[in-house]
Structure 1
Amino acid sequence: MSDYFVTGATGFIGRFLVQELIANREGQIYVLCRAGSLGRLQKLIDEWGSDRVVPVVGDLSAPQLGVDAEWVAAHRGTIGHFFHLAAIYDMTADDATNDAMNIDGTRNALELAGALSAGTFHQVSSVAAAGDYKGVFTEDMFDEGQPLPSPYHRTKFESEKIVREESPVPWRVYRPAIVVGHSETGQMDKIDGPYYFFPLIKRLRDSLPGWIPLLGLDLRDTNVVPVDYVAKAMDHIAHVPGQDGQAFFLTNPDPQGAIEMINLFCRAARAPKFATPIDRRISDSRAIQALPSGLRPASLFAAAVHSKPVTAVFDQTVGRLGIPSEVLGHVNFTAVFDSSKAQALLAGSGISVPPLESYAEKLWNYWEENLDDSTSRDKKAKRALEGKYVVITGASSGIGEVTAKKVAQLGGIPVLVARGREKLETLQRTIEMRGGQAFVYPCDLSDYEAIDALAAKLSAELPRIDFVVNSAGRSIRRSIKLSLDRFHDFERTMQLNYFGAIRLVMGLIPKMSATGGGHIVNLSSIAVLTKIPRFSAYAASKAALDSWSNVVGSELHSDGISFTTIRMPLVRTPMIAPTKMYEKFPTISPGQAGDIVVRALVEKPEAINTLGGQFGAALHTAAPKTAHKVLNIAYQAFPDSAAARAHAADEEAAAHPRETASQKEMVGRLLKGLRWGR
């Protein structure tokens, strides 16, 4: 058994590699850490849940990484694998930064590996070492005279060259493609690669209908891989004997078209997609190929995006959305990366690259809920929420969780309330890792005594309560015919959605009044306005909360306490996931819902409604009989929930034999944008 030494363990790839080592290997795992980052590392160690991870204080810029000589002497000959991941993975970084981190850091790491007599030095390089090579680039190729168009490309090449020529111990090199988030969770911690385009996709989604095609260019092929694949593949290949002195491409053997990749994220965001009327069928035609290479469309495009006039125009247009001009010229690859050796070693291990379409939506959702910084750039929102205490119920998932992250991003202090302590503490750690502050208060909001205790504790322990967001709620989809013997469904729904919410607010009113007032945001539903069938329990509980807030708001106006009611459309939360019927209807993401809540906190309107909700309310007012007829069609077209049908042996299906798929599609279009429950 041998031990491990890892640099860059707190970085994106590093943290997942350490997880793999903990799960699959034995021995101590020593991780390099600056003295000032020990607190951050300790939180990661707590997250990993292993006492085998041991910090070693040092610095990438110092000889032998600044590790204490006594520690080196004590561990000489015990380190079987030295993983060097600490580096700059940023296309926009300048020469000095790239040199210091990627070149000098690699040389210092090699010094330490030699002093430790490490078994194997594992260098994490990049496909960028291939530069702008044209054609197939194999794992055995390295110095082929390829152009290195940026400081990033150059230093990746130079650092790999240093390992090849100067390593005092056996070595292996890993060249990942563009690394994106985790394929199962979407987790990512930085903006890179395709993520630079996400703000533009979000702007398009929020500005244009999703069915409008946009004009795009065929940007040729790119290559992205999820971080979990990279970490698993690296761990596996590192422990296959007899592979020293070789490089391995950790790439997708089936590269994606760049525009196809972007369209997958557009689809995940429900944004317009790009059409490419001039694609490679034209650019690869004999007529185009007969032109000198410098006059071909791909070469002209590459030259244009690197020219100063185009760069200046670009920076003042979409560059304002966070797309650096340096990135656009490197979205695609001129080389095709042959990963045959790596694929052969991984054969039979169960480790393979998942297709991007299987996890693109997870990447998008994680970015929108965690990395989208458009909220933090809103100066008005920052002034309104910075330093303010925001009590958020239902904070362990869905809209409540996203709202908490956005409040923290703006400098606010989310006070997290939900039943499960573990999920709340995980969210608290996430917020703190990003430099924010949060408090955890577990509470069962269906228990009146627990609510009273929570209100007393919040009032005693917090200096003030500036905002309350009532996000916790229960939704039941069941027709009245199947509810005649289930009165308890109405009681439970009313208890959480109405009585629980107002009991908490009533308990906090004295504290809010004594400290200058506050604002309460209630998450209601479009069902209150549209009166969708099968949601009588849910709609009634939300309508009760709406009415209570309207009345109490006028009474508390002089105390500085105000209310906003948000009648949300359908939101893609875990609550609606089991109901496949919802897939037929337009929905908004939790990130979009969180933006709406932030707007309510900042602007404090009396109500926020959607166009669909206003239309439904107007129809009920102007033509109530017509509204009932339309909604009865919806009632007949869509069945009760699976749980309800289990109790009724599909009575509704037998009563309406003429139900057809076309009816469902027609109602889906008619009720576009309606939110039936959270």
Structure 2
Amino acid sequence: MSYFVTGATGFIGRFLVEELLDHREGDIHVLVREGSLPRLQRMIDRWETTRVVPVLGDLSQDRLGVDPEWVAAHRGSVDHVFHLAAIYDMTADDATNDAMNVDGTRHALALAEELDAGCFHQVSSVAAAGDHRGAFDETMFAEGQHLPSPYHRTKYESERIVREEATVPWRVYRPSIVIGDSQTGAIDKIDGPYYFFPAMKQLRERLPAWLPLLGADLGDTNVVPVDYVAKAMDHLAHLPDRDGEAFHLVNPEPQPVVEMINLFCAAAGAPRFATPVDRTHTHAGPLALLPRALRPLELVSSVVRSAPGQLVLDQTLGRLGVPAEVLAHTRFTATFDSRRTEKALAGSGIDVPDLESYARTLWSYWEEHLDTSTARDAAARAALQGKYVVITGASSGIGQVTALKVAQAGGIPVLVARGKDKLEATRAAIEDRGGTAYVFACDLSDLEAIDRLCEQITTELPAVDFVVNNAGRSIRRSLKLSQDRFHDFERTMQLNYFGAIRLVMGLVPAMREQHRGHVVNVSSIGVQTNPPRFSAYVASKAALDSWSNVVASELVGDGISFTSIHMPLVRTPMIAPTKLYDKFPTISPAQAADLVVKALVERPHEINTLLGNAGAVAHTVAPKTAFRILNMAYHVFPDSAAARGQEGASGTRESEQIMLARVFRGVHW
């Protein structure tokens, strides 16, 4: 079996190639422009395969500009040509859409015919249905539908070319709006609902999550994760006797736009939208007597698509990064019937997951990898541009996201952790975005290894401008269960305190010589609130705080300063083993990384939360009362099953636990 794929370095194409590598045999020939060869080579290296073979060419040229000698050598040997290269962008103009979607399809089809390919697989879109009203099934195509944008028109036209002009067997795939991987959240670009994410982040930062906002019924949309699309295409392409058919890769159940937005708002921790007037009011009662064009949903759609409406949207939502064209085409007037596709996929285990089950995964990936707010922050760029930032614990969680944000602002992350493979993956992600990073693998609980690390860093790098002490160990165990586990205290102090100060002490001479440097310690809200069962962890963080406070007075004259961040509970791998936290209010690693970036840029002595400050005041003003309240929490939150040396988690007093967790938001219990 042999394949030829266009658009393999793109979003859907990358996932399809991975499916083919995992489930099929034979070479996968990939069309690539000469300028994109380095990117493709990095992907091949990550795939660890010799089966992906680059073929130089260009979508804009006849037969994709592939060398005639290559074509002659492979004529009759290519079983499947997958054509995915196209513009998937509502905001692109006519000329771009025509060149990529229409001419590109014609050139790809010509190459497939020259190769005498077994089957030509065209990735179209449900946009080919245009503004068709009602059900649109897989047998339908030319139904006289209005095509409201260049994107709709060219997707329709490219599918028409395949249907009417192909001399080789063909199959067509019509995905709806394709979003990130349902398992990892991975996505390459901002499109569809992602345009709304920056606005959701702004809402989260400015308004409480419990505050309901007024929304409007914007009709139905349809989104599917890229992993479903790639798996379905791979399966459908290899079914016998399905040539000449189209397949709808859609969610069988249309999703109200507002419902989709609210799922992402919930994932972000932002306020949600209520729609006091929706289709339940317009399909029944007095409003149902109105002509369709005068119903609220149609009026809203007409206003949004009108020239004045687009102008207003450009000056309002457009400033938040939501293009007016996207809002105008978020709603589908057609309902996409996918029963034929579902029947063809029956028994394969391939189906569309419920968006609610992976909305948080999508949000987290966007917030950690695609949110560009740091890059747009002039203060962050001024403070970090060209600066070397040593970040410990950079292989995951807060450290990894901090590294990505530092690189966004033009800084140079120096990645430190035990696992070199994960650090290399983070460096690759930074380099793919045009940044620079360095990797130094080190066990930060080994003091001699830290000494070697400091020597290596100061020898190989021209400067050390910032140090972020983020690596840490957390242990949740009561004193009662720690009587025979003194090593818990030793291990925690070894990494959280001795390792951190050994690193700083090893790098201070270089910073003294530069007459500048700033150290950020990722401490804990527990230092201020003293939650029970965290005596080992809180003591180690408090020791680091105290050490930093003392040496700050000694080093301030050398231009070296310190910031301690008393971080609330963060949703990281470190807290994952404590299942109790699954239902707790937590901040995301990206929110925590934003605090680290703030510490790097503004260099305050401390960054605290309101609750942390209240806890510190309570322990100063009314210590006995504070201890009584904490003792109550001690009895409400039991030791974990792991701490008791048992399997399974305790489910007792869950309602009291959740209530206390919400009242004391961000505290480790």
Interval of TM-score (by shorter of Structure 1 and Structure 2): over 0.9
Offset of 1:421 from its aligned partner? Answer: 0.7
Q: Is contact 2:169–2:243 with CA below 8 Å preserved after alignment?
A: yes
Cross-structure match for 2:481: 482
Cross-structure match for 1:568: 567
In structure 1, how many angstroms separate the alpha carbons of the residues matched to 2:9 and 2:23? 19
In structure 1, how many angstroms separate the alpha carbons of the residues matched to 2:640 and 2:468? 28
In structure 1, how many angstroms separate the alpha carbons of the residues matched to 2:216 and 2:282? 11
Report which stretch shifted further, 367-376 or 514-523.
514-523
Cross-structure match for 2:73: 74
Offset of 1:583 from its aligned partner? Answer: 3.5
Cross-structure match for 1:112: 111
Q: Is contact 1:90–1:192 with CA below 8 Å preserved after alignment?
A: yes
Q: Percent identity?
A: 68
Offset of 1:661 from its aligned partner? Answer: 4.3
Cross-structure match for 1:13: 12
In structure 1, how many angstroms separate the alpha carbons of the residues matched to 2:98 and 2:662? 57
In structure 2, how many angstroms separate the alpha carbons of the residues matched to 1:98 and 1:294? 30
Give the partner amino acid of 1:50. T
Cross-structure match for 1:608: 607
In structure 2, how many angstroms separate the alpha carbons of the residues matched to 1:343 and 1:664? 43
Cross-structure match for 1:674: 667
Q: What are the equivalent positions in structure 2 for 1:78-157 lying under 5 Å apart?
A: 78-157=77-156
Tell me the SS of whatever aligns to 1:468: strand
Cross-structure match for 2:22: 23
Tell me the SS of whatever aligns to 1:556: helix
Tell me the SS of whatever aligns to 1:450: helix
Q: Is contact 2:641–2:647 with CA below 8 Å preserved after alignment?
A: no
In structure 1, how many angstroms separate the alpha carbons of the residues matched to 2:648 and 2:455? 47
The answer to whether structure 1 residue 623 and structure 2 residue 601 are counterparts is no
Structure 1 residues 543 and 420: alpha-carbon distance in aligned structure 2, compared to 1, 3 A threshold: same
Structure 1 residues 61 and 665: alpha-carbon distance in aligned structure 2, compared to 1, 3 A threshold: closer
The answer to whether structure 1 residue 314 and structure 2 residue 307 are counterparts is no
Structure 1 residues 457 and 637: alpha-carbon distance in aligned structure 2, compared to 1, 3 A threshold: same
Cross-structure match for 2:362: 363
In structure 2, how many angstroms separate the alpha carbons of the residues matched to 1:367 and 1:578? 24
Give the partner amino acid of 1:15. R
Q: Is contact 2:531–2:668 with CA below 8 Å preserved after alignment?
A: no
Offset of 1:340 from its aligned partner? Answer: 1.3
In structure 1, how many angstroms separate the alpha carbons of the residues matched to 2:102 and 2:10? 18
Cross-structure match for 1:440: 439
Report which stretch shifted further, 4-13 or 40-49.
40-49
Offset of 1:297 from its aligned partner? Answer: 1.8
Q: Deviations over 1:478-516 (max 9, x none)?
A: 111111221111111000000000001111111122223
Offset of 1:298 from its aligned partner? Answer: 2.1
In structure 2, how many angstroms separate the alpha carbons of the residues matched to 1:509 and 1:31? 50
Offset of 1:667 from its aligned partner? Answer: 2.5
Aligned residues: 669
Cross-structure match for 1:393: 392
Q: What are the equivalent positions in structure 2 for 1:202-601 lying under 5 Å apart?
A: 202-285=201-284, 287-601=286-600
Q: Deviations over 1:176-234 (max 9, x none)?
A: 01000001000011111111111111111111111111111112211110000000000
Tell me the SS of whatever aligns to 1:79: coil
Q: Is contact 1:482–1:648 with CA below 8 Å preserved after alignment?
A: no
Offset of 1:675 from its aligned partner? Answer: 4.5
Give the partner amino acid of 1:75. H
Give the partner amino acid of 2:38. G
Give the partner amino acid of 1:324. P
In structure 1, how many angstroms separate the alpha carbons of the residues matched to 2:146 and 2:647? 70
Give the partner amino acid of 2:208. P
In structure 2, how many angstroms separate the alpha carbons of the residues matched to 1:4 and 1:668? 54
Offset of 1:614 from its aligned partner? Answer: 0.1
In structure 1, how many angstroms separate the alpha carbons of the residues matched to 2:648 and 2:64? 70
Q: Is contact 2:132–2:333 with CA below 8 Å preserved after alignment?
A: yes
Offset of 1:649 from its aligned partner? Answer: 13
Tell me the SS of whatever aligns to 2:55: strand
In structure 2, how many angstroms separate the alpha carbons of the residues matched to 1:342 and 1:647? 47
Give the partner amino acid of 2:277. I
Give the partner amino acid of 1:664. Q
Q: Is contact 1:633–1:667 with CA below 8 Å preserved after alignment?
A: no
Structure 1 residues 649 and 271: alpha-carbon distance in aligned structure 2, compared to 1, 3 A threshold: closer
Q: Deviations over 1:78-110 (max 9, x none)?
A: 111000000000011111111111011111111
Report which stretch shifted further, 550-559 or 8-17.
550-559
Tell me the SS of whatever aligns to 1:323: coil
Q: Is contact 1:568–1:675 with CA below 8 Å preserved after alignment?
A: no
Give the partner amino acid of 2:34. A
Q: Is contact 1:177–1:251 with CA below 8 Å preserved after alignment?
A: yes
Give the partner amino acid of 1:279. D
Structure 1 residues 67 and 215: alpha-carbon distance in aligned structure 2, compared to 1, 3 A threshold: same
Offset of 1:584 from its aligned partner? Answer: 4.2
Offset of 1:564 from its aligned partner? Answer: 0.6
In structure 2, how many angstroms separate the alpha carbons of the residues matched to 1:648 and 1:180? 38
In structure 2, how many angstroms separate the alpha carbons of the residues matched to 1:464 and 1:644? 43
Q: Over aligned residue pairs, what C-alpha RMSD do you find?
A: 1.6
Q: Deviations over 1:30-58 (max 9, x none)?
A: 00000011000001111112110000011
The answer to whether structure 1 residue 38 and structure 2 residue 31 are counterparts is no
Offset of 1:665 from its aligned partner? Answer: 4.0
| Gap regions ≥5 residues in structure 1 | none
Tell me the SS of whatever aligns to 2:351: coil
Tell me the SS of whatever aligns to 1:416: strand
In structure 2, how many angstroms separate the alpha carbons of the residues matched to 1:661 and 1:371? 36
Report which stretch shifted further, 614-623 or 664-673.
664-673
Cross-structure match for 1:176: 175
